[in-house]
């Protein structure tokens, strides 16, 4: 894909469409949590999650839907959200941040997304991940 296309991710619902809409995002998040739950490299962050992982899957998929410019599914079901605040009770340092980003990168790589969208998406997710780390009390 051309650079021009890459520049347009982030405007309107381009990113939401590039991720395959709600179905594509759900596939990504299912893959992400399956990986997190089965690979010991990610056990620290998996163990921070509540027992019912289906709720975390639902929340992240709905959140990413709106974050990528699609419908605001998280707010429809769960109300307003601040990403740093919902992580404030957790201890997230560089190791935990990097586990999350590595797990997400490997999951993104398995999706049928355009190569430039994969790069764009993991770069963009690094921004809130770093904000979460910097505000954590670890
Ligand atoms: C920096 C590394 C991160 C770690 C270790 C992490 C870990 C977690 C954990 C353990 C939970 C479950 C908390 C609970 O239910 O008690 C959670 C929830 C959540 N995370 Fe993260 N997360 C990270 C980054 C992100 C990023 C970058 C995003 C979004 C772009 C995100 C979005 C969410 C959402 C939407 C929820 C559900 C919040 C709720 O309604 O309770 N997380 N995260």
pLDDT (tens, 9 = 90+) of the chain, 138 residues, equals 444 455 589 899 999 999 999 999 999 999 999 999 999 999 999 999 999 999 999 999 999 999 999 999 999 999 999 999 999 999 999 999 999 999 999 999 999 999 999 999 999 999 999 999 999 876
Ligand 1 lined by 55 (C-beta under 6 Å): no
State the pTM of this model.
0.95
Residue 8 is predicted with a pLDDT of: 85
* CA distance linking residue 97 with residue 77, whole number of Å: 27
Select from 73, 82, 86 the residue to mutate for testing ligand 1; criterion: most ligand atoms less than 8 Å from CB. Answer: 86
Domain extents in the chain: 19-135
Q: Give the CATH fold of the 19-135 domain.
A: Globin-like (1.10.490)
Atom 38 of ligand 1 has which residue's CA nearest to it?
Answer: 86
């Amino acid at each position: 894909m051309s650079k021009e296309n890459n520049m347009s991710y982030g405007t309107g619902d381009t990113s939401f469409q590039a991720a395959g809409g709600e179905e594509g995002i759900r596939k990504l998040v299912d893959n992400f949590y399956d990986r997190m739950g089965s690979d010991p490299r990610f056990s620290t962050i998996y163990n921070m999650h509540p027992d019912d992982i289906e709720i975390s899957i639902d929340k992240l998929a709905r959140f990413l839907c709106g974050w990528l410019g699609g419908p605001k599914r998280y707010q429809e079901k769960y109300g307003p959200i601040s990403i740093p605040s919902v992580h404030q009770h957790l201890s997230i340092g560089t190791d935990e941040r990097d586990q999350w980003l590595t797990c997400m990168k490997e999951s993104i790589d398995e999706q049928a997304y355009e190569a430039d969208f994969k790069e764009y998406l993991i770069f963009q997710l690094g921004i809130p991940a770093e904000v979460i780390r910097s505000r954590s009390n670890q």
